[in-house]
Structure 1
Amino acid sequence: MLAGIDTHKDTLAVAVIDDTGRPAVVTELANTEAGFDALELLLEEHTVTRVGIEGSGNYGRGAAVRLVLTGGLEVVEVPPSLTSRERSGRPGQGKTDPVDAVAIARITAREAGLPAVRLAIGVAADLRALADYRAQLVAERTALANRTHSELHGLLPGYQATIPRLTAPTFLTAAQDLLDGDTSVRAQLTRRRLIRWASSPPRSGTSPG
């Protein structure tokens, strides 16, 4: 038997299929420790040997870690693109969590080269988490800089001649000075963005703005 799991914040849609691809069990479990207990029992009861999970690095992280650490199962990651393709190949079913779980199970049965899930534990996982967090901060800072420049241009066309970037305190002060006396909502919001920018110093190796 093989199984597919479609993961969500609160629930896990689980499908167990036989060797012909026919669903033997399609159910929904809580995405909690108690739900993981029930999942283990379900897979053991049906002698499941391989499980495919969509979203093992996101909402499926907890379930993936539990199944891998329990042992005795091959646990693989199923890309959403494959699930969508599988579902579209069976018109009339529509997109529902149970339908996706069955699709994930059938992909798990068919695709021998699916990658093993990456456990979100240990030093390597911690480094990935730190790298992801840094990338998020850089993206947020870049978005803030771009929006601030856009608003300044709308409020003060030509401002860039004296404020080419926002990476120096003198430029931030100059931008605030240019907005002095403007009581419009957009000016007030731009001031707030400038304050946020000043309170979030750039990380090493980044220079947006």
Structure 2
Amino acid sequence: MTSAVAEDPAGQVVFGGVDSHADTLHVAVISDNGGHLADAEFTTTAAGYAAAFAFLGAHGHVRAIGVEGTSSYGAGFTRAARSHAHRVVEVNRPDRAERRRIGKSDPIDAYAAARAALSGRASSAPKDDTVAGIRALHNAARSAVKARTAALNQITHILITAPEAVRAKYGRLKGTDRTDVLARLRPAGDAVHIAVLTTLKSLARRVKELTAEHETLTRALDSEVTAHNPGLRAAYGVGPDTAAQLLVTAGGNPDRMRTEAAFAALCGAAPVPASSGRTNRHRLSRGGDRAANAALYRIALVRMSSDSRTRAYVTRQTAAGRTKKEIIRLLKRAIAREVFRCLTTAVTVPGIADLRPLRQSKNITLTAVARHFGVWPATISTLERGIRRDDDLASTYRDWLTAA
């Protein structure tokens, strides 16, 4: 620990930097001209946070505190700092080139965070806690899917090398049929057959349990996402998983992103110039939050397959000579713009609760409605239940039911 406190710290403006860990955090203080003043280590407890604030305040008026990991190890400190009216800015981890040049240690990282706050290189407000529940549910749902996929892969690999009688009987089954049959097994035979069948039964039951767990988590996630931002959830092609990912990426306070271009860059959907000489073109961005980029990609695929306006757009762009990759890049950029509007402004979602009662009151079947509009019955069903949003179809459907 170093200390070089100014003779009159009360009138001095200082900046803080924090390198956070699970059990400790390292705090550094610099002056407004970048001079190192002091650094110290504190515990990640209420008492430790209070001691850190007293340490910072002892060196002058704290203008801002740069924190690395505001949504992970530094979440507790960030929350406490905000409650003490300190301005906290989010600091990205130093790039590898800089770390190779100056080295890495807790004091080095803490001073780097303080310099980032001083220079303005770090200026983004950290995410608030309003999406913490959505983040938790989303992580749990994703881990359930990963564990389920791992169990299914294990079943497939075991059946490939299983005794011939087991492979011939169960290897030809696919999907849920195979899982259901294996979950009801009664292992019998010699020691090898019993061991293999017991393993397959255990894995199949695990798959069924994880499937039920994922469905429960998805329902809870859908409820949370819809309550938090009904406009985003109602956008075409945006499901519970993609909506949750975009909300987690943006945070509960999307005003921290000043423009929709900044949000597009955050999602890795901003076009990157790739021109040289007479070639004038853009390429896909490799930066940003790749999970958010994947969410935009899935929305684009859904719209390309089932949204009439998007399909017409793809047809026009294909006729203009654009490749599929270029078209998807353009779509992701446009979707990012739409999502940003949903995140930053209140979007009114037209009501659909009256559609099903109105149809049933006139004894009209889903099949009859679907035949009239030239769509699948499932399309009308999902529209009535609010699973899929199509404002034009809903309005036309309501008018047709009223006149019927």
TM range (shorter): 0.7 to 0.9
Summarize the Cα distance change of 1:162–1:185 in structure 2 as closer, same or farther, 3 Å threshold: closer
Alpha-carbon distance, 1:53 to partner? 1.2
Q: Could you tell me how far apart the structure 2 residues matched to 1:116 and 1:43 are?
A: 20
Summarize the Cα distance change of 1:86–1:168 in structure 2 as closer, same or farther, 3 Å threshold: same
Verify the 8 A CA contact 1:64 1:119 in the aligned structure 2.
Answer: no
What percentage of aligned pairs have identical amino acids? 27
Moved more, 18-27 or 143-152: 143-152
Q: Could you tell me how far apart the structure 2 residues matched to 1:19 and 1:117 are?
A: 22
After TM superposition, where is structure 1 displaced by more than 3 Å over at least 4 residues in a row?
A: 83-86, 111-114, 154-161, 166-169, 176-192
- Kindly indicate which of the two structures has a greater share of residues assigned to helix: 2
Partner SS for 1:200: helix
Q: Could you tell me how far apart the structure 2 residues matched to 1:125 and 1:50 are?
A: 24
* Equivalent pairs, count: 198
Q: Could you tell me how far apart the structure 1 residues matched to 2:193 and 2:33 are?
A: 66
Q: Could you tell me how far apart the structure 2 residues matched to 1:61 and 1:21 are?
A: 26
2:155 paired with 1:142: no
1:5-20 map, 5 Å: 5-20=18-33
TM-score, structure 2 length as denominator? 0.43
1:15-34 map, 5 Å: 15-34=28-47
Verify the 8 A CA contact 2:27 2:42 in the aligned structure 1.
Answer: yes
Alpha-carbon distance, 1:156 to partner? 6.0
Verify the 8 A CA contact 2:24 2:43 in the aligned structure 1.
Answer: yes
**Structure 2 stretches of 5 or more lacking a match?**
1-13, 219-239, 241-404
Alpha-carbon distance, 1:177 to partner? 6.5
Q: Which residue, 184, 189, 192 being the options, matches 1:183?
A: 192
- Kindly indicate which of the two structures has a greater share of residues assigned to strand: 1
Q: Which residue, 187, 200, 203 being the options, matches 2:210?
A: 200
**Structure 1 stretches of 5 or more lacking a match?**
none
2:174 paired with 1:164: yes
AA aligned to 1:135 is R
Partner SS for 1:89: helix
Partner SS for 1:115: coil
1:82-93 map, 5 Å: 82=94, 84-90=96-102
2:128 paired with 1:119: yes
Match of 2:282 in 1: none
Q: Which residue, 140, 153, 161 being the options, matches 2:160?
A: 153
1:17-96 map, 5 Å: 17-46=30-59, 47-71=61-85, 73-80=86-93, 82=94, 84-90=96-102, 94-96=103-105
Summarize the Cα distance change of 1:111–1:166 in structure 2 as closer, same or farther, 3 Å threshold: farther
* Structure label with greater radius of gyration: 2
The higher relative CO (CA closer than 8 Å, separation ≥ 6) is in 1
Aligned alpha-carbon RMSD (Å): 3.2
Alpha-carbon distance, 1:169 to partner? 4.6
Partner SS for 1:48: strand
**CA deviation map 1:146-199 (0-9, x unaligned):** 33333433436866752323576534347x579964538984655543332233
AA aligned to 2:133 is D
Alpha-carbon distance, 1:29 to partner? 0.3
